[in-house]
Amino acid sequence: MNGTVPGHRGTARRECGHARAVHIAALATASPPFSALQSVAGETLLRHAGGKLRPRSVTLSRKLFAHPSIRKRHFAIESPEGFFAEDPDQRIARFTERSIGLSAEAVRKALAAAGLEKERIAALVLNTCTGYVCPGISTYLIEALDLPRDTRVYDLVGSGCGGALPNLELASSLAAMLDEGVVASVAVEICSATMQIGDDLSLLVSNTLFGDGAAAALLWTRREGLVLVESASWYAPEDREAIRYVHRNGQLHNQLSTGLPDLVAKAVENVVGRLLAPRSLAVSDVPHWAMHTGGDKIIRTIGDRLGLSESQLRPTRTVLAEYGNMSSPTVWYALEYVCAAGVRPGEWCMMLAFGAGLSAHGFLLKQV
């Protein structure tokens, strides 16, 4: 890892500061059934909305859609025709319906993978940034999953693409306090509900990058599965304009800076240093890296700054190719890939996510 690790004031949060260590009992993802190859998605967008773009933007869009880093993406829509005809009320209704459905699917799959009944869920933490409803999605999941009415539920908003790891921090703290039961950590994003057409470079890039998806992890204190060892975060609020949503005409518009890769890489380096240095670990000592995809340039910049090998970057590149950037659930998709490939007892794994704030978050895991 290049550079030096700054001094810190206990920024890394030790999960084992609780009386009991928390483990990931099971992990599952859920993607919408509708998917499109990147080439098809590009032609479809330009056929329906290209008339709203300047000729230069059309040319740039074609170039962006042709980038080989993304092969296909999934979208929570019924058809492109209905999607491009949506008004704002229909859009938030779709966000609500599909975020509930995908979240519930991910939780059910995680329960099945762990061999657990839904009654074992004692608490649920859900994060999203691509839509706002009140009451939150978590309360809808009580109904959709038929959970006990005294289930503790929490909704987190505003953390953007990095939101799954602050969620995991809260969920793991809850799991450590429970005598019995499991805690569900759920991330869901319907990024297509924030898609906008315009000549702004941020919108052109976003429309080639983002997809929809959900993920759920079940946490318990039983000594099985990956153990959550320690977490850390790094915030650079002075750079918040580099990546955020802004409201225009009452709707969310994505805002991305061309300098984002370097800003993100710097924040990620701070997080990684805070997790590895106290244990005298080097990047090469951690064989498994589950990282938010961001985009191809962000992956390359982080990889170069940390000195990650292509093997360490493979889970992130694979998820980017097959799903694009799904905002907060993406890091869970990368961890799912890591787990499917196999993690041997005693091996370290690093989860990394970053986004609005500007912020970066990391969780160091180890296979027992």
Note the pLDDT tens digit of each residue in 250-279.
889 999 999 999 999 999 999 999 999 999
pLDDT digits (tens, 9 = 90+) for 272-287: 999 999 999 999 999 9
The two tokens of residue 35 are 């998917």
* pLDDT above 50 (res 8): no
Tokens of 295: 């985009």
Q: Which domains does the chain carry? A: 27-220 (3.40.47.10), 225-367 (3.40.47.10)
Query: Rounded to an integer, what distance in angstroms lies between the CA atom of residue 326 and that of residue 128?
Result: 11
**Over the range 175-203, which residues count as b (16 or more CB within 10 Å of their CB) and which as e?**
bbebeebbbbbbbbbbbbbbbbbbebebb
Q: Which of 136-145, 239-248, 309-318 has the lowest mean pLDDT?
A: 239-248
| Helical pair 88-114 and 137-144, crossing angle rounded to 10 deg | 50
pLDDT at 19: 56
Q: What percent of the chain has pLDDT over 90?
A: 92
Does residue 135 have a cis bond before it (omega within 30 degrees)? yes
Per the CB < 8 A criterion, the answer to whether 362 and 350 are in contact is yes
Question: Cβ(228)–Cβ(365) under 8 Å?
Answer: yes
Asked if 265 contacts 327 with a C-beta cutoff of 8 angstroms, the reply is no
Please state, in angstroms and rounded to a whole number, the distance separating the CA atoms of residues 240 and 243: 6
Residue 63, pLDDT above cutoff 90: yes
- 83-133 pLDDT, tens per residue? 999 999 999 999 999 999 999 999 999 999 999 999 999 999 999 999 999
